[in-house]
Amino acid sequence: MAVTLINPTGLPEIDVYRQVSVATGSKLVFIAGQVSWDAEGATVGEGDLAAQVEQCYLNVGLALAGARGSFDDVAKLTVHVVDWTPDKMPQLLEGIDRAAARLGVTPVPPATLLGVAALDVPEHLVEVEATAVID
């Protein structure tokens, strides 16, 4: 495995991600921000943050597979959520949990959550980008 996830002593342990990833692989993979499109470009889960988060993570999984990788290779995730407020956290976590169950993974690399004013089109509520390192 090219990426090792750790929580160094002195930093808080967060359930949904690890504080640090140490990458030793030789191939860097940069996944464009994935929105809740299906294979035909139709928005999945319009108005439903959990459904859109789930689809974004599934799309990241497909992108990783296309690079011959998986969530085990992800060194960093960045999640952009439209009009973020902390009360949206349960929906975000529900979407991640549903995607994790479907993918058979525990996606916990270091992550940054950013609130944004808007994304590419009004119906998109979330976008997830990833950086991976593959042997």
Q: What's the rounded mean pLDDT across residues 84-110?
A: 95
Dihedral pair phi/psi, residue 56, rounded to 5°: -60, -45
Q: How far apart are alpha carbons 119 and 104 in whole angstroms?
A: 28
Global pTM?
0.89
32-53: b (≥16 Cβ within 10 Å) or e: ebbbbbeeeeebbbeeebbbbb
Contacts of 63 (CB under 8 A, 6+ apart): 31, 32, 34, 130
Short-list 76, 29, 34, 41, CA closest to 55: 34
> Sheet harboring 27-34: ordered strands across?
27-34, 126-134, 74-82, 111-116
Among the ranges given (7-21, 33-47, 61-75, 107-121), the one the predictor scored with the smallest mean pLDDT = 7-21
3-state secondary structure of 33: strand
Give the model confidence (pLDDT) of 54-92 as tens digits: 999 999 999 999 999 999 999 999 999 999 999 999 999
